[in-house]
Structure 1
Amino acid sequence: MRIAVTGSIATDHLMVFPGRFAEQLIKEQLERVSLSFLADRLEVRRGGVAANISFGLGLLGFDPVLVGAAGLDFAEYDSWLRAHGVDTSAVRVSDTLHTARFVCTTDQDQNQIATFYAGAMAEAPRIDLAEIAGLTGGPALVLVGADDPDAMLRHTATAHRLGFPVAADPSQQLARIDRDQARQLVDGARWLFTNEYEAALLIERTGWAKEDLLDRVGTWITTLGEAGVSLASSGAPDLRVPAVPTERIIDPTGAGDAFRSGFLAGTAWEWPQEQAARLGCAMATTVLESVGTQEYKLTSSDLVARIDQTYGSDAAQSFEPQLAHVS
């Protein structure tokens, strides 16, 4: 089953501030903020939501088609992704611009302040999803992740026109898009991904209440950090899936992308949504325990053990046959 993953391809510059952002902010001066945080650690890692999700799918044995724009510095990153099972043939490589940059600082409470430079991502609207589908085989589903807004709108419209199920994941771009754009990105999606903050922002951006949104999508998946995941569908009670716990949180960056990889894999394997979400939670915790979004490794034994400890032996046994090839 081919999965096309559209969205950003980026390099992450991850820094750690050994204090609390909240202690540096003065409530009465929030309209005139001028702060400098002295970080005590810097990691330069590969990232971008589409690349991260594709990487996770590659580790699970899929051959995901990465659809995005990268820069003239992409060669090494391209080799890395291909070595981990990602089809990069659909990546547009700019002749003049560098690959996008994500610069993020995390404090000791795991709060984050980040800046994203688009770079080559500005060329993403030139990518034709219909042409890619013809060359790589029609995908069974298309995830539309954070990207240049015009590219997101174009990919969404093309996927709907061609009849490909859409997973809408607007995430960071919700802050940039207007009401009409937000509505176009989510209306008709088979799956909708947000975190808790983005869920509230999506309601504000679309002007639709939760019930209105649920009438327009199949399942709305909201990640809740250590509280796990909520799955909501119209006319049904919300389903809560607890997170896989860990005492070794090192870096939260990329955990949500790993969750999406696991959930989409479970969906492709035609698992019940609760089971797919459990795999996503296990992968998210694996990423929490490493620095960077693509530095983790997956093994069948580790994933099954995490699922066993959190969801019980019966759940673990149901995962074993499909995960046996993961190493």
Structure 2
Amino acid sequence: MSGLELFSIGSWSIFDHLLRMQRLPAEGETVALDMPIAEMERIHFGDCSANIAAVAARLGIRTGLGMVVGDDFDTSGYAAHLRQLGVDLAGVEIRGGTRSGHSFNFFDAENRSFCVSHLGVAECQDDWRIPEVAIASAKALVVSEKFSHYTLGAIESAKRAGRLTAINGMVATAGQSASRFLAAADILILSRGEAADLIDRLSFSSASALLDLGPRLVVVTEGSNGSRWYQAQGEIRLPAVKTEHFVDSTGAGDSFAASVVCGLVRGWPVEQTGKFAATVASFVVEAWGCQTNLPDMDQVAERYRNHFKENLIR
């Protein structure tokens, strides 16, 4: 576990069911699914923290994963899949006799969506112990849902150790602990909806105000409209990398977050990091599932050069 560049931690549901339709139904309405029946029957590997670990490892970052899962993490082939990508699983605890969670992701042609989840073993995290040794061994830590005592302990431990710390996702769901999460974070990465929810709960006027709570960098993704990057020096807007082969956006945000931390760990400037993250995410949306179409660095560099008309400085 020594020599890690990135450690990703958090537990939600590790299996995804993807259900696409032309439009989301109104109350009481029945609509037809718009997708191959074979895809409807597939169960994809997911979970934000595992998605981040998979993307980072594929990009050549020495990556570890921390989560608590059921026996099905092994029996489904998920553990073997991550090991093949190069993810260090020493921080993953498998609890015998339990099952991991499943998420059902519904989305329409306009990419409006909602998700329902059964968390399985991740439902109660009060007695979980963070992998202290693994966290201390890494240069950076990324925390994703569930925002519990488990992940709060992880990010505060990393902060005390002087590691680069990042939050990915709906930290507003941490309730009264949200302020502690934000105080321990160097980087905060949110979707447009997640940012709006957090800003509303805190009665702030804009995402830039979140910089006063601890993070030195706040990134808000806006889908095809690109992303906004807030720092003390001001705001930068960066474009998305659009693709002609859009299939499914599930996991695009996690791939973006993974790429942001990868770029910053490598010492890249913010503008290149943002363009890099947008490029990586453009691959993920081209196939069903979060980890189905992960690019390597050569593929990213080629698309980056073609889109931005400049070379990716590695």
TM-score by length of 2: 0.89
1:222-274 per-position Cα deviation (integer Å, ceiling 9, x unaligned): 1110111111012x221111111211110000011111121111111111111
Q: Distance in 2 between matches of 1:100 and 1:207?
A: 33
Secondary structure at the counterpart of residue 276 of structure 1: helix
Shift of the alpha carbon at 1:125?
Answer: 4.2
Report what 2:81 is aligned to: 80
Q: Please say if residues 94 and 123 of structure 1, whose CA atoms lie closer than 8 Å, have aligned partners that are also in contact.
A: no
Shift of the alpha carbon at 1:206?
Answer: 3.0
Shift of the alpha carbon at 1:301?
Answer: 4.1
Shift of the alpha carbon at 1:36?
Answer: 4.2
Shift of the alpha carbon at 1:148?
Answer: 5.0
Q: Please say if residues 106 and 114 of structure 2, whose CA atoms lie closer than 8 Å, have aligned partners that are also in contact.
A: yes
Stretch of structure 1 that moved more, 286-295 or 2-11: 2-11
1:144-179 per-position Cα deviation (integer Å, ceiling 9, x unaligned): 1112523232223322333333101242x63x432x
Report what 1:58 is aligned to: 57
1:84-127 per-position Cα deviation (integer Å, ceiling 9, x unaligned): 01111111112232112111112121111210111121354444
1:198-225 per-position Cα deviation (integer Å, ceiling 9, x unaligned): 1111112234443431123110011110
Report what 1:11 is aligned to: 15
Stretch of structure 1 that moved more, 77-86 or 149-158: 149-158
Report what 2:243 is aligned to: 246
Q: Give the unaligned 5+ runs of structure 2.
A: none
Equivalent AA in structure 2 for residue 134 of structure 1: V
Change (3 A) 1:122 1:148: farther
Matched pairs, number: 301
- Match 1:39 to one of 8, 12, 33: 33
RMSD, aligned CA: 2.0
Equivalent AA in structure 1 for residue 16 of structure 2: D
Secondary structure at the counterpart of residue 219 of structure 2: strand
Q: Distance in 2 between matches of 1:3 and 1:253?
A: 22
Q: Distance in 2 between matches of 1:141 and 1:302?
A: 24
Q: Give the unaligned 5+ runs of structure 1.
A: 26-32, 323-327
Report what 1:259 is aligned to: 256
Secondary structure at the counterpart of residue 302 of structure 2: helix
Change (3 A) 1:263 1:248: same
Q: What is the identity percentage for the equivalent residue pairs of Structure 1 and Structure 2?
A: 24
Equivalent AA in structure 1 for residue 32 of structure 2: L
Q: Distance in 1 between matches of 2:9 and 2:184?
A: 17
Secondary structure at the counterpart of residue 90 of structure 2: coil
Higher helix proportion, which one? 1
Q: Distance in 1 between matches of 2:249 and 2:98?
A: 29
Secondary structure at the counterpart of residue 262 of structure 1: helix
Q: Please say if residues 260 and 274 of structure 2, whose CA atoms lie closer than 8 Å, have aligned partners that are also in contact.
A: yes
Change (3 A) 1:142 1:242: same
Q: Distance in 1 between matches of 2:30 and 2:190?
A: 30
Q: Please say if residues 155 and 184 of structure 2, whose CA atoms lie closer than 8 Å, have aligned partners that are also in contact.
A: no
Shift of the alpha carbon at 1:311?
Answer: 1.6
Q: Distance in 2 between matches of 1:14 and 1:280?
A: 23
- What are the residue-to-residue correspondences of 1:130-145 with 2, within 5 Å? 132-134=131-133, 138-145=137-144
- Match 1:177 to one of 174, 178, 188: 174
Q: Distance in 2 between matches of 1:226 and 1:214?
A: 25
Which runs of structure 1 show a deviation greater than 6 angstroms over 4 or more consecutive aligned residues?
none
